[in-house]
Amino acid sequence: MKRFFLLWLKYTLNSFSSAIYSRFGAGLFLFAKLLRFLLFFLFLFILQKSTKALIDYTANQVIFFYLVFNLIDTLTQLLFREVYRFRQKVVRGDFDLDLVQPINPLFKALAGGADLLDLFMLIPSIFLLFYFGAQLTFASFSLFVFLLLFINGLVIATSFHILVLALGVLTTEVDHAIMIYRDLTNVGRVPIDIYQEPIRSFFTFVIPVGIMVTFPPKALFGLLSTPVVLISLLFGVLFFGGSLLLWRYSLTQYASASS
Amino acid sequence: MGKYWQVIKNSWSESTAYRLNFILWRVRRVVNLLLVYFLWHAVTAGKNTLFGYNESQILTYVLLSNVVTSFILATKTLDIGDEINSGNLTNYLLKPINYFSLWWAKDAADKALNVFFSILEVVLLIFFLKPQFILQTNVLFLLFFTLSMGLGMILYFYLSVLLGFIGFYSPEVWAPRFVFFVISQFFIGSLFPLDILPKWLYLSLQALPFPYLLFFPLKIYLGQLNVQEISIGIAISLVWIIILKETAVRVWNKGLLDYSAQGR
Q: Quote the pLDDT of residue B187.
A: 92
Taking the CA of residue A105 and the nearest CA in chain B, the distance in Å comes to 26
CB neighbour list of residue B80: distance below 8 Å, 6 or more residues apart? B103, B160, B161, B164, B165, B167
Chain A interface includes B52 (CB < 8 A): no
Within a domain: B263:
no
Chain B interface includes A46 (CB < 8 A): yes
Q: Quote the pLDDT of residue B138.
A: 92
Chain A interface includes B179 (CB < 8 A): yes
Name the helix (H) or strand (E) containing A65. Answer: helix A59-79
Intervals of chain B under pLDDT 50: none
Contact at CB, A29 and B196, closer than 8 angstroms: no
Q: Quote the pLDDT of residue B209.
A: 95
Query: Pick from B39, B129, B175: which is nearest to A190 by CB?
Result: B39
- Quote ipTM for the complex: 0.82
Query: Pick from B51, B171, B182: which is nearest to A36 by CB?
Result: B182
Q: Quote the pLDDT of residue A168.
A: 84
Residues of B with CB below 8 A from A175's CB?
18, 21, 24
How far apart are the C-alpha atoms of B187 and B198, rounded to whole Å?
13
pLDDT > 70? residue A74: yes
If you average pLDDT over residues A141-148, what whole number do you get? 92
Q: Quote the pLDDT of residue A177.
A: 78
Residues of B with CB below 8 A from A55's CB?
42
pLDDT > 90? residue A103: no
Give the predicted TM-score (pTM) of the model. 0.85
Selected residues 178-207 of chain A with any CB under 8 Å from a CB in chain B? 179-180, 183-184, 186-187, 189-190, 194-196, 199
Cβ–Cβ < 8 Å for B248, B166: no
Q: How many CA atoms lie within 13 A of A80 on its CB side?
A: 24
Specify the number of domains making up chain B.
Answer: 1
Within a domain: B216:
yes
pLDDT in tens, B172-199: 888 899 999 999 988 999 888 998 888 8
How far apart are the C-alpha atoms of B64 and B92, rounded to whole Å?
36
Residue of chain B with shortest Cα separation from A177 = B24
Query: Pick from A26, A35, A174: which is nearest to B21 by CB?
Result: A174
Chain A interface includes B141 (CB < 8 A): no
In sequence order, which ranges of A1-94 are alpha helices (DSSP H)?
2-19, 23-50, 59-79, 83-92
Contact at CB, B196 and A50, closer than 8 angstroms: yes
Residues of B with CB below 8 A from A22's CB?
171-172, 175
Query: Pick from A36, A55, A176: which is nearest to B42 by CB?
Result: A55
DSSP code for A136: S
> What share of chain A in percent tops pLDDT 70?
96
Q: Quote the pLDDT of residue A54.
A: 63
**Band of pLDDT at residue A94, cut at 50, 70 and 90:** confident
Residue of chain B with shortest Cα separation from A48 = B43
Q: Quote the pLDDT of residue A259.
A: 55
Within a domain: B264:
no
Q: Quote the pLDDT of residue A175.
A: 59
Chain A interface includes B51 (CB < 8 A): yes
Q: For the residues of B148-173, what is the DSSP string, one character each?
A: HHHHHHHHHHHHHHHHHGGGGT-S--
How far apart are the C-alpha atoms of A119 and A135, rounded to whole Å?
25
Q: Quote the pLDDT of residue A55.
A: 66
Residues of B with CB below 8 A from A19's CB?
none
Residues of B with CB below 8 A from A32's CB?
175, 178-179, 181-183
Cβ–Cβ < 8 Å for A20, A26: yes
Query: Pick from B20, B32, B178: which is nearest to A186 by CB?
Result: B32
Query: Pick from A29, A54, A187: which is nearest to B35 by CB?
Result: A187
Q: How many residues does chain A have?
A: 259
Domain of B66 in residue numbering reads as 2-258
Average pLDDT, chain A: 85
Within a domain: B161:
yes
Taking the CA of residue A224 and the nearest CA in chain B, the distance in Å comes to 21
Residues of A with CB below 8 A from B18's CB?
173, 175
Chain B interface includes A31 (CB < 8 A): yes
How far apart are the C-alpha atoms of A119 and A16, rounded to whole Å?
11
Q: Quote the pLDDT of residue B26.
A: 82
Q: Are strands A57-58 and A53-54 parallel, antiparallel or unpaired?
A: antiparallel
Q: Quote the pLDDT of residue B263.
A: 67
Q: Quote the pLDDT of residue A53.
A: 56
Contact at CB, A25 and B192, closer than 8 angstroms: no
Contact at CB, B129 and A46, closer than 8 angstroms: no
Cβ–Cβ < 8 Å for B175, B225: no
How far apart are the C-alpha atoms of B240 and B246, rounded to whole Å?
10
**Band of pLDDT at residue A258, cut at 50, 70 and 90:** low
Chain A interface includes B169 (CB < 8 A): no
Chain B interface includes A75 (CB < 8 A): no
Chain A interface includes B25 (CB < 8 A): yes
Residues of A with CB below 8 A from B196's CB?
46, 50
Contact at CB, B50 and A184, closer than 8 angstroms: no
